[in-house]
Structure 1
Amino acid sequence: MASRIEQIIEEIEEYIDGCKYQALSSSKIIVNKDELEELLNELRSKTPEEIKRYQKIISNKEAILADAQAKADAIIAKAQVKTDELVSEHQIMQQAYAQANEVVMIATKQAQEILDNATNDANNIRMGAMQYTDDILRNLEISISHAMDSAKARHENYMSSLQEFYDVVSSNRAELNPAAEDAVSDNTENLPKIDISSDMLK
């Protein structure tokens, strides 16, 4: 069953795939800022929950080992009771001791096998949880990187468009009044610089 983080990432991918392309462009799309931010906020809020969930799975290793130890102790205790019953019979004392030792050896072997299997299972669960968490974080890292690249590209395209419009306006004014071209150049050098940040483009 897919985690909520995986579902949100799929929703973001589906949303981006469903966006319309910008006019006269085959690579730029138009996104709804509020919808995209809503998905990203939910992704941000769910990430700690998923990580805690898999930390809890890892912590279950101790519970698995404790349960295996309890089963092993129960087997050994049962074997000890059987040993006591056997040695209480004087007429079969030697046979009882031999049977008791065999039962204890078998019980000890079974207990060790249970402990070994439980340890392997716990380690496999821990490694699987860590790998799954790392995969989630890697996908999140990739999504954030793509979002940053997209924002940077939009900012650069916007600045390039403004520069083109500015050049056209300046050229038209120069053609209308060539004598004022030098004065315009001097005046524009004294104008304050306007910083258009990426926040203004959202």
Structure 2
Amino acid sequence: MSRIEQMIGEIEMYLDSCKSQAFSNSKRIVVEKDVIDEMLVELRLRTPEEIKKYQKIIANKDAILADAQSHADAILAEASRQTAELVNEHEIMQQAYAQAEEIVQQAQAQAQKILDDAVIEANSIRDGSVQYTDSQLEQLESILSHALENSQSRFQSFMNQLQASYDVVVSNRKELAPSLPAGGTKSSGPEIDIALNNEEEEA
């Protein structure tokens, strides 16, 4: 199991262990920002290492092909050597030519098969690595999306509570001194609301 898989499993276990948010449905949970930030930082650091590992596996394709070519060349060299030995035997010249031709054809066929198998194996390794990496990134994308949705939900809840508190303060001031101009120093309220909304948009 790769470190990315372990980190994803730890994040999932942590999210499963988090308590549901009060007065909300079961889909909303309370997450400790420091804990999830630490996990995401480690996951972000581990991801390039895992990708490099799979890139190295893909790079081994060239080594596989080079080894297959070397093996094929050795077979052809041995076939040529055997051919030369047979040809040098004058008494069985015709037989030597026939055997030499057969050896060469067999060697070429064997060398081609080795090269074909090496290409298939290298492509299979590459495709498997790409699919695995994409699967890991898909899980990471899902976790980050879930975390973003939770953060937006908590922020909206905070804004609602802040607005409710503001409305109570304004109402209490009106009851305390009805003669004061409507709104009083109310201008500070909208400015805070706008600033928070801007932070939400930038997020």
Please give the secondary structure, in 2, of the residue aligned with 1:29.
coil
Provide the secondary structure at the position in 2 that maps to 1:193: helix
Question: RMSD in angstroms over aligned alpha carbons?
Answer: 1.9
**Residue matched to 1:185:** 183
1:118-164 deviations in whole A, cap 9, x for unaligned?
Answer: 01111111111112112222222222222222211111110011111
TM-score (norm 1): 0.88
Preserved contact between residue 166 and residue 189 of structure 2 (Cα < 8 Å)? no
Q: Give TM-score scaled by structure 2 length.
A: 0.88
Equivalence map 1:53-92=2 (5 Å) = 53-92=53-92
> Partner residue of 1:94?
94
For 1:185, what is the secondary structure of its paired residue?
coil
Aligned-residue offset at 1:99: 0.6
Runs of 5+ consecutive residues of structure 1 not aligned to the other structure: none
Across the two proteins, how many residue pairs are aligned to each other?
195
What's the CA shift for 1:67?
Answer: 0.4
Q: Which residue of 1 aligns with 2:128?
A: 128
Question: Which one is further off, 18-27 or 46-55?
Answer: 18-27
Partners of 2:170 and 2:183 within 8 A in 1? no
CA contact (8 A) 2:72 2:110 kept: yes
Higher alpha-carbon deviation: 28-37 or 4-13: 28-37
Q: Structure 2 stretches of 5 or more lacking a match?
A: none
1:1-202 aligned at under 5 Å gives the runs 2-26=1-25, 27-180=27-180, 183-189=181-187, 193-194=191-192, 195-196=195-196, 197=199
**How much does 1:173 deviate?**
3.5
Find the aligned partners of 1:134 and 1:23 in 2 and give their Cα distance: 36
- CA distance in 2 between counterparts of 1:137 and 1:61 reads 23
Identity over the aligned pairs, expressed in percent? Answer: 55
Amino acid at match of 2:128: G
Runs of 4+ residues deviating >4 angstroms:
none
